[in-house]
Structure 1
């Protein structure tokens, strides 16, 4: 083997060794970086004031580390701003929101082309909303809607606008923003519209939205709360309709409870009040049927004595004395 060939082989071996070392160092660096970010997120998750402060400190150290890739530095700066919002939620200290706003502005200045810069606009609007600067927040959101086509940005901006208009009592505008085609199927939009309709005393529209939410979002984290809300809403609305002698509407919503929530205690009460609706309308046969359902194959409840009494009254009205 010639000397030239030996030199080439040695150089190749050295290059391979250096490449392997570089890869190992890069993997080690990224592993430590992932661990650092995970530690900061865990601090936020714990939620104690001191833990949140520790999380902010960790993210701030990443921002100041010149070896950190730009996208990670941008995310760290954004998350540090969110940390100050978390601190405000714990302390209600307005200075925390001021610091958050400064950091959000820095995201846009230092990383203007990043996805984090777009998110910072939304967070800045959120901070202005929390500070009561509604006009400023709306202006920022309109600016975001005019500049960006990212579906996430559009949905979040429209939802925030809906929330702001709801907060200031302009429920029509809140519903309009929640109902925009780009936004109308988001969970926040559906629930926001339902709340706005409730404020406008449009109970049936709110109920329909809550029921649609349960139907099309069975895995949502909000399902339990929405189920409780709509069940209570339907029952109270049906009962109010009964007291107003609107028996048709009362039966409709009591019957919906029976069919949609058969295992809930309110279902048995609903059978009873359906029977009362028919009783008050002097429809003795239907009343008999529903008073009977209160007693059939169900555990004993406080309504049983009333149902038994009304069964007797129905038979009396039908002149079936025996």
Structure 2
């Protein structure tokens, strides 16, 4: 570390001085010392204007700021990356991370736009599935159940075996219920009950199946589904208590 600092201090015009600065910044990044990483990355950006490490520095500064919970600043660096390096191979990841930073600020429409851009430019599975899922969360927060449902259907179609698929089915069922598509909602609730066993998702889906029958004024069937909750899931007392409230 001191060798790299000496190079920068004593030989600032050395052609590899930017590499020395990069190594210092990466050291702190690897140690998860995010504030120090930001400081050193910003030195690279500001003091070595022609450095080939600039795109990585903008990207990693954004990530470090995100880890520090400084979401507006992270979004600023990601936005600068997109403007400065429009053809960079990392742009799909950066669009996604920009969306995450905006989501943390509850800027849901802007986040949706960023996730949409990520979906257009990336072929990486993890970025695609996360961008789809987070977009659905944004539409949920905006109260647009139809858009949320459309995105969740795409997610389930493309990633039926993913760990988030059952949660996507549950959220899709909730979306359908809010749109009064009760029979379709019940199908997805039933799927969650069958595939998630004794989980928090399963007990919520079981309770909501009762809601579906209740909404259709089929009260006998609603009672049957509601009573399954304390019988099958006694460990989730809060859901059983809902029956007496």
TM-score tier after normalising by the smaller chain length: 0.5 to 0.7
The residue number in structure 2 matching 1:197 is 139
The residue number in structure 2 matching 1:170 is 107
Q: How does 1:1-322 map to 2 (within 5 A)?
A: 60=1, 76-84=23-31, 86-87=32-33, 97=35, 99-108=36-45, 109=47, 112-114=50-52, 116-129=53-66, 130=68, 132=70, 134=72, 136-180=73-117, 181-182=120-121, 186-217=128-159, 223-224=162-163, 226-234=164-172, 236=174, 241=178, 249-258=181-190, 262-265=194-197, 266=202, 269=206, 273=210, 276=213, 280=217, 302=228
Unaligned runs of 5+ in 2: 8-15, 232-245
When residues 160 and 209 of structure 1 are mapped into structure 2, their CA distance, relative to the original with a 3 A threshold, is: same
Q: Is the 8 A contact 1:105 1:120 kept in 2?
A: yes
Unaligned runs of 5+ in 1: 1-59, 88-95, 295-300, 306-322
Aligned equivalents of 2:145, 2:97: Cα separation in 1: 23
What's the RMSD between the two structures over aligned residues?
Answer: 4.5
When residues 257 and 107 of structure 1 are mapped into structure 2, their CA distance, relative to the original with a 3 A threshold, is: same
Q: Is the 8 A contact 2:58 2:78 kept in 1?
A: yes
Please identify the structure whose Cα radius of gyration is greater.
1
Aligned equivalents of 1:74, 1:210: Cα separation in 2: 44
Aligned equivalents of 2:170, 2:148: Cα separation in 1: 12
Aligned equivalents of 2:97, 2:116: Cα separation in 1: 13
Shift of 1:273: 4.0
Shift of 1:262: 3.9
Shift of 1:191: 2.6
Q: Is the 8 A contact 1:159 1:183 kept in 2?
A: no
When residues 208 and 77 of structure 1 are mapped into structure 2, their CA distance, relative to the original with a 3 A threshold, is: farther
When residues 77 and 210 of structure 1 are mapped into structure 2, their CA distance, relative to the original with a 3 A threshold, is: farther
Residues 141-196 of structure 1 deviation map (CA, whole Å, 9 limit, x = unaligned) = 33322221344332233223322332332211111121123259733322321221
TM-score by length of 1: 0.48
When residues 196 and 73 of structure 1 are mapped into structure 2, their CA distance, relative to the original with a 3 A threshold, is: same
TM-score by length of 2: 0.60
RCO comparison, higher one (Cα < 8 Å, 6+): 2
Aligned equivalents of 2:140, 2:215: Cα separation in 1: 28
SS at match of 1:162: helix
Aligned length: 207
Residues 254-293 of structure 1 deviation map (CA, whole Å, 9 limit, x = unaligned) = 11343577434549948964983697269x9xx7xxx8xx
Aligned equivalents of 1:123, 1:138: Cα separation in 2: 12
When residues 251 and 157 of structure 1 are mapped into structure 2, their CA distance, relative to the original with a 3 A threshold, is: same
Q: Is the 8 A contact 1:255 1:271 kept in 2?
A: no
